[in-house]
Each structure stands twice: as C-alpha cells, then as structure tokens.
C-alpha cells in the first residue's frame, strides 16, 4: 500500500506545484496535512518560488478529510486526534500567505478537499469535476472553513443548499456560481493554473481572500429570512440529526460576527459533532456500504469478473420492467421476454415511463434517456438468448412456472450464462431443481421500484459458484446498486429480518395500543413511515401472503392477527383503493381514518389478549422497543444462520432495503448502542407476559450473558459453523 505523501516541484517559472497523493481518493490523512504545511512553509521561504499551485495525483483533487480518523475518534471516544488545521493551516499559512496559491481541480474536490481549494486564492477546474461539501452525510459539518467561504463565494441560498443537501455540483455550474474561476480542458489545467498564479503575483488577476469578503452575502434581514426558512425545512427533512441546525448556527455566526469568528465556531462545533451517535452511525454506514463487496472466498481468491454485456429479463411486470430499466440506464443491452405481444408492449411502455420519469424529475438528461432506450429489445421467444451473459427471471411467484423457465433457459443460453431469479420468497434450490447447472443459479433480489431502490440482495446457494457471485457483485455495482451477498432462506436477509416488524405492531394493536400512536412513534424514531401506513402502501394482499409464508417457515414466532383479513372483508385495501388505516386524498398527507376503529375493536374481541379485557398501559419508548426489538431478535437469528457475511452487511441491507435510519447505523449497530443485555432482558420480560413471539434467540441470549456485542464476528462467540 502506498503511503500518503505530499511532494513539491518548483519550475523555472517560479511556480511550485504541490501534489497531494493518497490513493484512491487523495483523502486528507493527518500525514497529508503535515505534508501540506511543510511544503507550503518551504515554498513561502524559498526565494525561487513566486506562486504555488495545488494538485491531486491520479486525476483527483481530493475526496476530503480522511474518514478513518472519524472512525478512530469513535473507537476511542476522544476527539483529540482531530487536527487543528482550520485556522493554523488554512487561514494562517494558506489564505493569509504572502504568495498566491491556486487550486488546479480535476475530478473530485469534496469536503476538506473543496475547503482546501476554497482557501486558495483562485480555483481552476477541468470539465465535469465534482465539487461538494458532503460532511452532513457523515453527521458533521464542514470543518475547515467551508461554512464560511462557500456562502461568500456563491451566495447564501446556494451554499446552504449545497451543504444541507450534500449534493455536489460540476465545474461548469461552479463557474456560473463563482466557485470556480475558469474551466479548462484537462490537458491545459496545470499550465493555465501556473499562469493564473503568476498573474495574481503580478497583480494582473485579483488576489482574493474570500473569508473576508461580504459582497455576496446580502443584507442581515435577507440572511435572517434565508436561514429561518432553511431551519424550518431541516426540521422536516432531517429529524433527529443535530448537524443540520448546527451548520446553520455556524453560518449565521460567521455572517453576524465575521468570517474569522465563524471559522472558530465551526471548528469547535465540528469537533463536538464528530463525537455524536449520529456521526458514529453515519460513518459506520459509510464504511459498511463499501465493505459489502468484499466477500471471503469470492473476491479474495484471484478471480476476475467476466463482462456482462447482454442480459435477458423474463417477465415485463413491475419488477421485470424496473430491473430492465436499471440495466439499460447503465448501457447494458437487455432482451425483455414476455409471453404475448400485449404483455410485452405493456412491459416496454413501463420501461419507457420509468426512463422518461427520470427525465421529467431532472434525474437524467434527455439524450441519455433516448440512448438508454436503444439498449432495449422486446422478444417473445428464446431465439436470441444464444449469446446472453445473464438471464434474470422476474415472473409471478409460481414454483412450477419458474422451474420450467429455468429448465428452458439452461437449454437456450450459452454455458457461461448466469441463471438468476428475482424471487423474493421461493427457495432457490426448488426453483433450480430441474436444472443441471446448479453452480450458475443465483438470486438477484431487487427491491421495488428496481430502477430506483439501491439494494440488490445476491442470494447464493451452497452450489452457486464464487465466479457467478463475483460477476453479480460486479454487474450490481455497474448498475449503481449496493450489492449484499446473502444466504438462501425464507425472506433472505431484509424481508426475514423485518417480518416481525409488522407482526409486533399487530400484536400491540390487539393489546389495545392505538395504531396511529404506533405509526407516529416509529416515524419519530426515523423510519419514513410506521408499520400500518406501510401496510396501506403495499396493499393488504402483500401482508396476507407474507404472513402466510413466514408463519409456515417460523411458526414459533408469528402472531396470528385477524385484523388484515377483517379490513379486506370490510372492503379496504389500503392506498390502492383509498381505504386503509388512513384516508388518502390527492395532494394532502394521509389522515387517520376514524372509521377503521370499529374494525380494530372487532379484531381485539377476536384475539381477546388484552389483560382483563382492558388496553395495556405502555410508554412511548416501550412501544418503539416492542416493535423493533423483535426485529433485532430476528437479525440475531440471521447472523447465527450466517445468512449474511458480516453484521455490517445487515446494517446496510436494513438501511437500503427497509429505510432504517442511516444515522442509527443500521439495525445491528443500533441494537449494540442499546446493548445486547437490555434487548435480551426486555424480550425475556415480554415473552413471559405476552408469549413466545418475544422469546429471545439463542444468539441474543449468549451475547447478552457473555457481554459480547451483537456485531462481533462469530468466531468470538460459539464455534464456527458452515455458512448457508
Ligand atoms: C474537515 C472536513 O470538512 C471533513 C471532511 O472532509 S469529511 C469527508 C468528506 N468527504 C466525503 O464525504 C467523501 C466520501 N467519499 C465518497 O463519497 C466516495 O468515496 C467518493 C465519491 C469519494 C468516491 O466514490 P467511488 O469512486 O465510488 O469509490 P468508493 O468505493 O466510495 O471509495 C473508494 C475507497 O476510498 C475510500 N474513501 C473515499 N473517501 C474517503 C475519505 N474521505 N476518507 C477515507 N477514505 C475514503 C473508501 O472507503 C473506499 O475504500 P476501500 O476501497 O478500502 O473500500
């Protein structure tokens, strides 16, 4: 592994080129800050240096402060390792330098990387560079002057938008906004930057120290209004996350008391925020997401991914059309197969609508959309399957139909072809029973809508070859999904872990707890909606089918609630027919429907589990825990059964598949912040009162009693067992 280093080369023109080198993204590790300070000091001292240019090696300026240092703070609980660069280096040595410094930006300039560029006296960028301050996604705020210099360069509204949304902009946008002084072709970047630096030294170009400028900030009353609006919006969009309001506080401080005060406050708040649970959760989620593609005995045995250029999708329904959309958007040719022209046309129209929908929401350029649609061909038979690299079956959940399709495609496709199914419920061994090529069978479980949801569960059986798993991991990344490798079991990782979620909510309702109170508390906890609104959204047919499926696989831990059947009997089907637990009116938020209450009463009479016939008295905290601890309990079984490679994969799957709040780090990480012992004791207590649904799993019991975290690798716990 290459060591992080900063080098300096002084040209005959008197320009010192300082290069940051820390592959793969030139993260600003502590050694890089030391190197920058050392080289800048040397450049200031040397008489042969008239001006300085910063560049990053390998076509990237910098991906920002080294996030590994945050992880170290989280492990030790001390923020003393965070460097004091904001004033000492960025203001005193760099911005207030006696020689001009220019940032030559190619590729990434994110977080601390962009802040380094902002402290320079000019910025020249190559086209398509990515400029952004994404610190809030890590639970912190920009900590090296970004909150002060960005508003001063591009104005307050756009700066707040960039920081609060964490979205980056291109160099072209940066030029329009005043963030970038010039955009030049890559091959001219260094020369133009050198000349620019010399021009500043010769006073032919302005020497701008933007921390002190105020011309783009507007009047104090305008500032006040913009910040107030941003605060209100952040209250809605960033519930439970302190960094958004903190960022606005710091911006405001700098505008009222001046940039230097702003930088001081920013530095203090940044260091405090690194220590928060929010930052711990988000940094854990960042690294976990990048670890899912490291799979022992797959990605570490010297295999090379094979190219996947042509994919066939069988079935053009909701899932099939979404999957096909995801591939064509990434320039992979798709054959969409249907059984008749009516269904085929429907499938193609759905794909066109998916693609054009992205254009109308400004997520995709018009020409890219048209290019993507050229990558699609509809077919009614297998005659063009001779050269496909992968087939993904996405037909209805019917075992004999899937078995027939797999037997057919084995015959029609080339011997290297991956045979994948998008089933969410059926055992892969059963689907492939009539197929000889068991090593090529794999699950590609997308989440709906498949062209938008980022998670891809790659389901492998004992026979799936490592090569096939690797190929799917690679193509999964190519189509911009986060692939997580999971074992073959009912519900795989996400649906299995979360099946107790709606079950426990049903149990609580039958114990007399108000549905709308449960939903409100769960959404306050951070999920986008509560279990009942989710049921409304999915339609009750889904709830009936999944409950049936899980109750037959895991009868010991299902709760038989008649409520959904009663709702269906009363003509309700959730959002689909506008009649659910909520009233759905166009253009307004769902409103609790009081007419559902008598149906709930009927369910309670039927189950008759309220102690003494009276609703239980329960705190808000207990409600959240009674809904989520059974999910943790199932997560423990998933870990025990080795359905996932590591606990953090389940964290990623819970965040991306179930929208578990990323700032809580994922389901297992969150449980560990509470402590295995507390989860265990609560479940044990409830199982004594309310029955086996809450019975703690062996894994949880063992970890709780031995004081081991739930996420610790299996070798720390019981003896190693073969993976699923
Ligand atoms: C004081 C300052 O204000 C504070 C800060 O600067 S906080 C940091 C701000 N910067 C960020 O948030 C950027 C985070 N990184 C990213 O968004 C993306 O990694 C990226 C857009 C830079 C590159 O994406 P992509 O090309 O898909 O590569 P990706 O797989 O994510 O990253 C490649 C490797 O670089 C690592 N990496 C990326 N950014 C890093 C960073 N800032 N610090 C340390 N490692 C980083 C990743 O962990 C990964 O490591 P691995 O190969 O060992 O798994």
pLDDT one-digit tens code per residue, 9-30: 999 999 999 999 999 999 999 9
**27 Cβ below 6 A of ligand 1:** yes
* Cα 135 to ligand 1 centre (Å): 11
**167 Cβ below 6 A of ligand 1:** no
**144 Cβ below 6 A of ligand 1:** yes
pLDDT confidence of residue 675: 97
Average pLDDT of the residues in 101-121:
98
pLDDT above 70: residue 717: no
**82 Cβ below 6 A of ligand 1:** no
* Cα 377 to ligand 1 centre (Å): 37
**273 Cβ below 6 A of ligand 1:** no
> Exposed, middle or buried by CB within 10 Å (0-12, 13-18, 19+), for 631?
buried
Q: How confident is the model at residue 724 (pLDDT cuts 50, 70, 90)?
A: very low
* Cα 172 to ligand 1 centre (Å): 23
pLDDT confidence of residue 1: 64
pLDDT confidence of residue 720: 39
pLDDT confidence of residue 715: 65
pLDDT confidence of residue 121: 98
| Alpha helix segments (H runs only) across 292-418 | 318-329, 341-360, 366-373, 399-412
Average pLDDT of the residues in 53-73:
97
pLDDT single digits (tens) 356-375? 999 999 999 999 999 999 99
**234 Cβ below 6 A of ligand 1:** no
The active-site residue out of 37, 95, 106, 115 is 115
**134 Cβ below 6 A of ligand 1:** yes
Rounded to whole angstroms, how far apart are CA atoms 290 and 652? Answer: 10
pLDDT above 80: residue 321: yes
pLDDT above 80: residue 322: yes
**138 Cβ below 6 A of ligand 1:** yes
Q: Which of 4, 23, 67 to mutate to test the pocket of ligand 1 (most atoms within 8 A of CB)?
A: 67
> Exposed, middle or buried by CB within 10 Å (0-12, 13-18, 19+), for 387?
exposed
Rounded to whole angstroms, how far apart are CA atoms 677 and 622? Answer: 16
**68 Cβ below 6 A of ligand 1:** yes
* Cα 577 to ligand 1 centre (Å): 45
Lowest mean pLDDT among 64-68, 207-211, 495-499, 542-546: 542-546
Nearest-atom index, ligand 1, CA of 146: 3
Does 115 participate in catalysis according to the annotation?
Answer: yes
* Cα 397 to ligand 1 centre (Å): 40
Contacts with 233 (C-beta within 8 Å, 6 or more apart), sequence order:
164
pLDDT single digits (tens) 615-662? 999 999 999 999 999 999 999 999 999 999 999 999 999 999 999 999
Nearest-atom index, ligand 1, CA of 86: 1
pLDDT above 50: residue 265: yes
pLDDT above 80: residue 109: yes
pLDDT single digits (tens) 507-518? 999 999 999 999
pLDDT above 60: residue 272: yes
Residue with CA closest to ligand 1 atom 33: 24
Quick count: other Cβ atoms within 10 Å of Cβ 239? Answer: 14
Q: Which of 31, 59, 63, 105 to mutate to test the pocket of ligand 1 (most atoms within 8 A of CB)?
A: 63
pLDDT above 90: residue 587: no
Q: How confident is the model at residue 718 (pLDDT cuts 50, 70, 90)?
A: very low
Rounded to whole angstroms, how far apart are CA atoms 457 and 445? Answer: 5
Average pLDDT of the residues in 116-141:
98
Rounded to whole angstroms, how far apart are CA atoms 683 and 365? Answer: 51
* Cα 128 to ligand 1 centre (Å): 18
**567 Cβ below 6 A of ligand 1:** no
Contacts with 349 (C-beta within 8 Å, 6 or more apart), sequence order:
none
**142 Cβ below 6 A of ligand 1:** yes
Return the percentage of the chain with pLDDT > 90, whole number.
91
Residue with CA closest to ligand 1 atom 15: 63
* Cα 22 to ligand 1 centre (Å): 12
Residue with CA closest to ligand 1 atom 29: 290
Residue with CA closest to ligand 1 atom 30: 290
pLDDT confidence of residue 661: 97
Quote the DSSP letter at residue 432: T
Estimate the crossing angle of helix 620-640 against helix 667-674, to 10 degrees. Answer: 120
Q: How confident is the model at residue 716 (pLDDT cuts 50, 70, 90)?
A: low
pLDDT above 50: residue 100: yes
pLDDT above 50: residue 602: yes
Q: Could you give phi then psi for residue 332, rounded to 5 degrees? A: -105, 130
Rounded to whole angstroms, how far apart are CA atoms 598 and 616? Answer: 18
* Cα 283 to ligand 1 centre (Å): 11
* Cα 56 to ligand 1 centre (Å): 15
Concatenating the DSSP letter of every residue in 226-285 gives HHHHHHHHHHHHTTT-HHHHHHHHHHHHHHHH-HHHHHHHHHHHHHHHHTSHHHHHHHHH
**112 Cβ below 6 A of ligand 1:** yes
Residue with CA closest to ligand 1 atom 27: 290
pLDDT confidence of residue 668: 98
Lowest mean pLDDT among 93-97, 165-169, 385-389, 552-556: 552-556
Average pLDDT of the residues in 449-464:
96
Q: How confident is the model at residue 723 (pLDDT cuts 50, 70, 90)?
A: very low
**110 Cβ below 6 A of ligand 1:** yes
**115 Cβ below 6 A of ligand 1:** yes
**85 Cβ below 6 A of ligand 1:** no
**135 Cβ below 6 A of ligand 1:** yes
Q: How confident is the model at residue 719 (pLDDT cuts 50, 70, 90)?
A: very low
Q: How confident is the model at residue 425 (pLDDT cuts 50, 70, 90)?
A: confident
Nearest-atom index, ligand 1, CA of 24: 35
Residue with CA closest to ligand 1 atom 18: 63
Contacts with 600 (C-beta within 8 Å, 6 or more apart), sequence order:
509, 515, 563
* Cα 255 to ligand 1 centre (Å): 30
Residue with CA closest to ligand 1 atom 50: 290
How many whole angstroms from its chain centre is CA 285? 8
Residue with CA closest to ligand 1 atom 17: 63
The active-site residue out of 37, 106, 135, 457 is 135
Rounded to whole angstroms, how far apart are CA atoms 505 and 563? Answer: 11
Rounded to whole angstroms, how far apart are CA atoms 412 and 561? Answer: 46
pLDDT confidence of residue 544: 87
Residue with CA closest to ligand 1 atom 22: 63
Average pLDDT, the chain: 95
Average pLDDT of the residues in 309-322:
97
**108 Cβ below 6 A of ligand 1:** yes
**65 Cβ below 6 A of ligand 1:** yes
Strand stretches in 477-587, DSSP E: 482-487, 582-583
Residue with CA closest to ligand 1 atom 47: 290
* Cα 188 to ligand 1 centre (Å): 27
Rounded to whole angstroms, how far apart are CA atoms 361 and 384? Answer: 34
Q: Which of 1, 25, 148 to mutate to test the pocket of ligand 1 (most atoms within 8 A of CB)?
A: 25
pLDDT above 80: residue 558: yes
pLDDT single digits (tens) 171-224? 999 999 999 999 999 999 999 999 999 999 999 999 999 998 999 999 999 999
* Cα 63 to ligand 1 centre (Å): 6
Nearest-atom index, ligand 1, CA of 133: 9
Residue with CA closest to ligand 1 atom 16: 63
**67 Cβ below 6 A of ligand 1:** yes
Tokens of 187: 């091959």
Residue with CA closest to ligand 1 atom 12: 134
């Amino acid at each position: 592994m290459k060591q992080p280093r900063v080098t300096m080369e002084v040209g005959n023109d008197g320009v010192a080129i300082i290069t940051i080198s820390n592959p793969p993204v030139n993260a600003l590790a502590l050694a890089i800050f030391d190197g920058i300070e050392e080289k800048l000091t040397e450049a200031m001292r040397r008489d042969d240096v008239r001006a300085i240019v910063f560049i990053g090696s390998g076509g990237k300026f910098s991906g920002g402060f080294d996030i590994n240092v945050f992880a170290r703070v989280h492990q030790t609980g001390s923020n003393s390792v965070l460097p004091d660069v904001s004033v000492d280096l960025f203001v005193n040595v760099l911005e207030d330098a006696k020689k001009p410094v220019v940032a030559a930006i190619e590729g990434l300039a994110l977080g601390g990387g962009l802040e380094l560029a902002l402290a320079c006296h000019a910025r020249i960028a190559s086209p398509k560079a990515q400029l952004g301050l994404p610190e809030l996604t890590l639970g912190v705020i920009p900590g090296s002057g970004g909150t002060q210099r960005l508003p001063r360069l591009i104005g307050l509204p756009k700066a707040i938008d960039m920081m609060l949304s964490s979205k980056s902009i291109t160099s072209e946008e940066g030029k329009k906004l005043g963030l970038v002084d010039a955009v030049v072709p890559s091959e001219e970047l260094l020369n133009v930057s050198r000349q620019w630096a010399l021009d500043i030294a010769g006073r032919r170009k302005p020497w701008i120290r933007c921390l002190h400028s105020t011309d783009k900030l507007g009047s104090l009353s305008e500032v006040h209004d913009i910040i107030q609006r941003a605060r209100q919006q952040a209250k809605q969009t960033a519930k439970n996350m302190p960094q958004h309001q903190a960022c606005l506080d710091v911006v405001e401080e700098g505008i009222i008391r001046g940039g230097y005060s702003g930088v001081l406050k920013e530095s203090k708040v940044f260091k405090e925020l690194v220590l928060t649970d929010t930052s711990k959760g988000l940094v854990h989620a960042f690294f976990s997401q990048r670890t899912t593609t490291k799979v022992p005995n797959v990605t570490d045995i010297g295999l090379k991914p094979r190219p996947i250029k042509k994919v066939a999708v069988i079935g053009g329904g909701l899932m099939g059309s979404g999957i096909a959309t995801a591939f064509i958007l990434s320039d992979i040719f798709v054959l969409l197969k249907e059984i008749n022209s009516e269904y085929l046309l429907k499938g193609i129209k759905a794909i066109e609508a998916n693609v054009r929908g992205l254009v109308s929401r400004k997520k995709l350029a018009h020409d890219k959309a048209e290019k993507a649609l050229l990558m699609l061909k509809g077919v009614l038979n297998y005659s063009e399957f001779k050269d496909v690299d992968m087939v993904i079956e996405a037909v209805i959940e019917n075992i004999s139909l899937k078995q027939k399709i797999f037997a057919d495609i084995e015959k029609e496709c080339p011997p290297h072809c991956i045979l994948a199914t998008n089933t969410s419920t059926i055992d892969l061994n059963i689907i492939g029973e009539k197929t000889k090529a068991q090593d090529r069978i794999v699950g590609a479980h997308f989440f709906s809508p498949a062209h938008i949801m980022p998670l891809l569960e790659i389901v492998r059986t004992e026979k799936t070859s490592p090569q096939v798993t690797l190929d799917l991991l690679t193509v999964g990344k190519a189509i911009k999904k986060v692939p997580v490798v999971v074992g073959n079991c009912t519900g795989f990782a996400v649906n299995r872990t979360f099946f107790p979620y709606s079950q426990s909510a049903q149990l609580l309702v039958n114990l007399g707890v108000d549905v709308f109170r449960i939903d409100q508390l769960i959404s306050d906890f951070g999920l986008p909606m509560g279990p009942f609104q989710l049921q409304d959204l999915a339609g009750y047919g889904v709830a009936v089918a999944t409950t049936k499926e899980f109750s037959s696989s895991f009868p010991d831990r299902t709760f038989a609630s008649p409520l959904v059947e009663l709702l269906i009997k009363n003509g309700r089907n959730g959002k689909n027919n506008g009649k659910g637990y909520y009233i759905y009116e166009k253009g307004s938020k769902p409103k609790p429907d009081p007419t559902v209450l008598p149906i709930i009463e009927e369910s309670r009479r039927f189950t008759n589990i309220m102690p003494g016939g009276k609703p239980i008295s329960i705190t808000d905290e207990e409600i959240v825990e009674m809904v989520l601890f059974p999910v943790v309990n199932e997560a423990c079984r998933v870990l025990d059964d080795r359905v996932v490679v590591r606990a953090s994969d389940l964290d990623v799957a819970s965040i991306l598949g179930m929208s578990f709040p990323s700032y809580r780090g994922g389901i297992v990480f969150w449980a560990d912040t509470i402590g295995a012992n507390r989860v265990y004791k609560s479940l044990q207590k409830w199982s004594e009162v309310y029955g086996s649904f809450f019975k703690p799993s062996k894994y949880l019991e063992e970890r709780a009693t031995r004081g081991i975290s739930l996420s610790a690798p299996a070798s720390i716990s019981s003896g190693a067992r073969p993976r699923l």
